[in-house]
Every structure is written in structure tokens, then in C-alpha cells.
């Protein structure tokens, strides 16, 4: 048997519904077949399973070797994403398509993948996992029309790595100020005035809550 991949370790967990158990087990088998290290935490209530995966990923460091990521599953993929995201430094995203996974890695540096056992076939889930594993941060993706990001957007994404990591560490005011400062530059990357106005309004609503 080939040696496990030394660069990525996946911690997995799922809810107890039959949808998520089956899909999680399929993906664990697939990951091991491609020599990815997997620590399978088994099944529990979807919120407990997701929280434990989120906690483990949060306790790792960006320089950890191997890199630690998480994989969580429930019926829709939404609940496990919510609870994994309760922990600082966790960027869990629910992905229903491979394009979602590419965007999540390129834009959000997602380190926890949430999948839906009810709405995603095993074949599609494997494609999603492959896309999520193999897409670097700040790379061309469907959201960038599969082209390199404009220079201004690249600078925003690079800064976001530091700023996103601070969210949840008790310094939300500073994070909100940083987001406000970046809104103008990000809006300039949008093509039409209508889209620009919507972007600023939505972002302001999120920041000021």
C-alpha cells in the first residue's frame, strides 16, 4: 500500500441520519484510496459531530504539517457548516457542486468542506472533494470567469487571510473596520453600477449588524 499523503490530513464526522452516514463513509474510503490521511470521528448528532471537527481544525495551525482540514456531512450540509464555523480560524463552506468547491477554496480559503447527503450523489461528492483538495487559494475559479483575479482583488484576498483569521478572537471591531476599508476597492472590481450598489448595501448590512 502506498504511503499516506504527508501534506493533508482530513478529520471527518457526520450526523446520524442515513443520508450523511453513507456519504461520509464513501468519502472516507475515497480519501484513503488516494492516500490522504483521514481521522474519522464517526457519527453523532450533526451539531456535535461538526463542532468536534471544527474544534480540531481550529486547534491546528496554518503551518501544521500535515495541513489539517475537515469534512462534515449532514442531510443538507448546512447545519454542519454552521456549527463547524463556531470556532476561530474555521472556514466551513457547504458545497453542492465542484464549482462551489473551487470558489470556496479560491476566495474563502475553505478548510472545512460540508456536503449534503440528501442532495449530492456519491459521484458528485467525489468530484467536489477533488476540486476542494486541488484548488489553491486565490486561483482562477468560476467566480473570476476562470481567469486570474484583477490585481486589486488579489490584494484584497491576500489581506483577507490575516483579517479572516482574527474574526472570532475578540477583535471584531477591528475586523469590521478592515472590511469597511476594503469595500470601495472590492466594489471597483464589479462590472456594473447596479451590481456595485447592491454589493455595498449588502456588505454594509452585514458589517453593521
Reported as a single tens digit per residue, the pLDDT across 55-73 is: 999 998 777 778 999 999 9
Higher pLDDT residue, 19 or 32?
32
For 109-138, what is the mean pLDDT? 96
pLDDT of residue 40: 93
Higher pLDDT residue, 182 or 89?
89
Region of 71 on the Ramachandran plot (φ > 0 left; ψ -120 to 50 alpha; else beta): beta
Q: For the chain, what is the mean pLDDT?
A: 82
Please say if the pLDDT value at position 77 is more than 70: yes
Q: How far apart are CA 176 and CA 163, in angstroms?
A: 9
Return the half-sphere exposure (C-beta side, CA atoms, 13 A cut-off) of residue 51: 6
CA angle at residue 170 from 167 to 171, to 5 degrees?
65
For the segment(s) 5-134, the CATH number from 3.40.250.10, 3.90.230.10, 3.40.50.2300, 3.40.1400.10 is 3.40.1400.10
Please say if the pLDDT value at position 120 is more than 90: yes
In the chain, CATH 3.40.1400.10 sits at 5-134
For 103-130, what is the mean pLDDT? 96
pLDDT of residue 185: 52
Cβ neighbours of residue 94 closer than 8 Å, sequence gap 6 or more: 76, 77, 78, 81, 100, 114, 115, 116
Contacts 24+ apart (CB under 8 A), 104-108: 104/132, 105/131, 105/132, 105/135, 105/136, 105/137, 105/139, 105/141, 106/135, 106/136, 106/137, 106/138, 106/139, 106/140, 106/141, 106/143, 106/144, 107/141, 107/143, 107/157, 108/164
For 19-43, what is the mean pLDDT? 93
For 44-49, what is the mean pLDDT? 88
- The phi and psi torsions of 121 (rounded to 5 degrees) equal -75, 160
Please say if the pLDDT value at position 181 is more than 80: no
Percent share of the chain, pLDDT over 90 = 60
Q: Is 53 exposed, middle or buried (0-12, 13-18, 19+ CB in 10 A)?
A: buried
Kindly indicate the confidence band of residue 5, based on its pLDDT and cuts at 50, 70 and 90. low
Q: For the chain, list the strands marked E by DSSP.
A: 5-14, 36-43, 67-74, 92-94, 112-116
Q: How far apart are CA 194 and CA 21, in angstroms?
A: 44
Please say if the pLDDT value at position 3 is more than 80: no
Higher pLDDT residue, 15 or 192?
15
pLDDT of residue 184: 53
* This prediction's pTM: 0.77
Kindly indicate the confidence band of residue 142, based on its pLDDT and cuts at 50, 70 and 90. very high
For 153-166, what is the mean pLDDT? 87
Helices (H), 109-192: 122-134, 151-166, 172-187
* Cα separation values, 111 from 91, 147, 148, 156, 198, Å: 6, 23, 21, 19, 28
pLDDT of residue 23: 94
Amino acid at each position: 500500500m502506498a504511503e499516506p499523503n504527508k501534506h493533508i490530513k482530513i478529520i471527518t464526522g457526520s450526523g446520524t441520519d442515513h443520508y450523511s452516514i453513507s456519504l461520509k463513509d464513501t468519502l472516507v474510503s475515497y480519501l484513503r484510496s488516494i492516500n490522504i490521511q483521514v481521522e474519522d470521528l464517526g457519527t453523532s448528532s450533526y451539531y456535535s459531530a461538526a463542532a468536534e471537527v471544527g474544534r480540531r481544525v481550529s486547534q491546528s495551525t496554518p503551518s501544521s504539517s500535515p495541513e489539517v482540514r475537515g469534512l462534515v456531512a449532514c442531510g443538507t450540509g448546512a447545519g454542519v457548516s454552521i456549527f463547524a464555523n463556531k470556532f476561530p480560524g474555521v472556514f466551513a463552506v457547504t458545497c453542492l457542486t465542484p464549482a462551489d468547491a473551487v470558489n470556496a477554496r479560491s476566495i474563502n480559503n475553505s478548510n472545512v468542506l460540508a456536503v449534503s447527503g440528501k442532495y449530492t450523489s456519491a459521484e458528485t461528492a467525489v468530484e467536489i472533494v477533488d476540486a476542494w483538495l486541488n484548488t489553491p487559494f486565490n486561483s482562477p475559479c468560476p467566480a473570476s470567469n476562470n481567469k486570474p483575479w484583477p490585481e486589486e482583488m488579489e490584494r484584497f484576498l491576500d489581506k483577507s487571510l490575516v483579517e479572516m483569521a482574527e474574526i472570532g478572537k475578540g477583535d471584531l471591531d477591528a475586523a469590521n473596520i478592515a472590511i469597511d476599508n476594503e469595500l470601495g476597492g472590492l466594489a471597483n472590481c464589479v462590472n456594473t453600477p447596479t451590481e456595485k450598489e447592491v454589493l455595498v448595501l449588502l456588505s454594509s448590512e452585514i458589517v453593521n449588524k
